Structure 1
Amino acid sequence: LTRYIGLLVASRCLWNIQLDRQLTISKQTANVFITVKILLLYLYTAE
């Protein structure tokens, strides 16, 4: 199933590699392919 489907994701945001984190969970069965992505962003203001 997945050899016929393509997905390209590109994003650009306020990503701080020292503070922010990401988690990706993927599960594949014979009929379903699921991917969940969680992005944790720490936003702050300089005063």
Structure 2
Amino acid sequence: MNVLLLVIPIALALGTLGLVACVWALRSGQYDDIEGAEYRVLHDD
């Protein structure tokens, strides 16, 4: 039972961290140009 007092807050903190990272990625424009990445891989610069 004492283990649950440690594991539940850690799980909640990691879940919150993942959610914050996802929201940050969406707001910073990480997913804006999905289609262009397909074609940039094929071009040699």
Output the TM-score relative to the length of structure 2: 0.18
Higher helix share: 2
Please say which structure displays the higher CA radius of gyration.
2
The answer to which structure, 1 or 2, has the higher relative contact order (CA under 8 A, 6+ apart) is 1
Output the TM-score relative to the length of structure 1: 0.18
Higher strand share: 1
